[in-house]
Amino acid sequence: MNKKLSVKNLSTYFYTSQGVGKAVDDVSFDLYDGETVAIVGESGCGKSVTALSILNLINPPGKIVSGEIIFKGENILSFKESEMSKIRGGSIAMIFQDPMNSLNPVLTIGDQITETIQTHKNFSKKDSKTLSLDLLKRVKLNNVEKIFDSYPHQLSGGMIQRVMIAIALSCSPSILIADEPTTALDVSIQRSILDLLMEIKKESNLSIIFITHDFRIVKEIADNVIVMYAGKIVENRRKKNIFDDPKHPYTEALLKCMPPIDAHKDRLPQIKGNVKNIFSYSSEICRFYERCEQSADICKKMAPERIKLNDYEYFLCFDFKDNLSN
């Protein structure tokens, strides 16, 4: 497979009166043609900031302090804003977390889709409308002429999310970033949105970065899985390997919390404590040790290094077989 996108040593910090918050800290991963990479972890682990950093959408007090985003052989973080605006929504599109707040409430759905098309393509108003209607049909909406003339508040959450997918696809991107696109939807609508995304991926050879906190979704859609904790990638594995043999204690704990089919019968396990405030992260120790059931003295004395499993997979932990006695 050809490499579509390469994130190299990305760090995004927030500078405030509280101090420096290391929201994303030395993150690296690759995305290949037709692949779905799932980024999973609790709220506050850096998933969304990673996605926004890829599109250089970090605003003050946030700042991308180091790293590269290699796309088509170039580091797009070095692009001028005029160059980057052609990438956003064009070659790389994003579906944001809250569909109801992602559209302009005073513009019709049609105006918002055609605006995106005309920003990136030299289309007439008539051709833009024709393409917009085709896109609304492609995302399996009915009465597309009516939806084209509707305002966001006149549509349901599931319909809005399909509109957001139509807008994301309007300029035939090669990469789609989906930031928890089903979180605000009920279970049946979630299912239909996931099915739609996977169908579009297959049709278009689309590469997807899918951000979620739900390992059940990961199990269905991912090829590769990145587990983030406190701004760090703690495990990067193929899906089968991460479910069959998780290596990092945080990954293992998250999988134990995944509800089984008969979850109503038993109390689900919980990970003790919470993700720390980003201003509390320390680069000198393991960031997970206070919540980890396998932690040892070494975990609060020094930061773990990556343990490579093969050319593609690694996790960020100590080799306890060698270090527990130290």
In Å, what is the CA distance from 125 to each residue of 107, 119, 131?
Answer: 16, 12, 10
DSSP state of 298: G
The confidence score (pLDDT) of residue 323 equals: 42
Which 3 state secondary structure label does DSSP give 91? coil
> Are residues 49 and 58 in contact, defined by beta-carbon separation less than 8 angstroms?
yes
Residue 159 resides in a domain: no
Count of domains forming the chain:
1
| Integer Cα distance of 279 and 97 in angstroms | 24
pLDDT (0 to 100) of residue 322: 45
Strand residue runs (E) in the chain: 3-16, 19-32, 36-40, 62-71, 74-75, 92-95, 175-179, 207-212, 224-229, 232-238, 306-308, 314-316
Does the residue 133 lie in any domain? no
Query: Quick check: is 284 in a domain?
Result: yes
Please report which helix (H) or strand (E) contains residue 108, including its range.
none
Per-residue pLDDT of the chain in tens (326 residues, 90 and over written 9): 799 999 999 999 999 999 999 999 999 999 999 999 999 999 999 999 999 999 999 999 999 999 999 999 999 999 999 999 999 988 999 998 877 788 999 999 999 999 999 988 889 999 999 999 999 999 999 999 999 999 999 999 899 999 999 999 999 999 999 999 988 788 888 899 999 999 999 998 899 999 999 999 999 999 999 999 999 999 999 999 999 999 999 999 999 988 765 555 567 788 999 998 999 988 889 999 999 999 999 999 999 999 999 999 999 999 754 444 33
Domain assignment present for 291: yes
pLDDT at 269: 80
Task: Specify the pLDDT at position 189.
Answer: 87
Does the residue 225 lie in any domain? yes
Q: Is 261 exposed, middle or buried (0-12, 13-18, 19+ CB in 10 A)?
A: exposed
Confidence at residue 324, expressed as pLDDT on a 0 to 100 scale: 41
Max CA distance (Å), the chain: 72
Q: How far is CA 80 from the centre of its chain?
A: 24
Are the beta carbons of 67 and 9 closer than 8 angstroms? yes
- CATH of residue 26's domain is 3.40.50.300
Look at residue 97 in the predicted model and tell me its pLDDT. Answer: 80
Task: Tell which residue, 297, 326, 292, has the closest CA to residue 316.
Answer: 292
Give the pLDDT score at 266.
Answer: 65
Q: Which residues 6+ apart lie within 8 Å of 146 measured at CB? A: none
149 found inside a domain: no
Alpha carbon 7 to chain centroid, angstroms: 13
Residue 268 lies in a domain: yes
Does 300 reside within a domain?
yes
**What range does the domain containing 50 cover?**
3-91+209-323
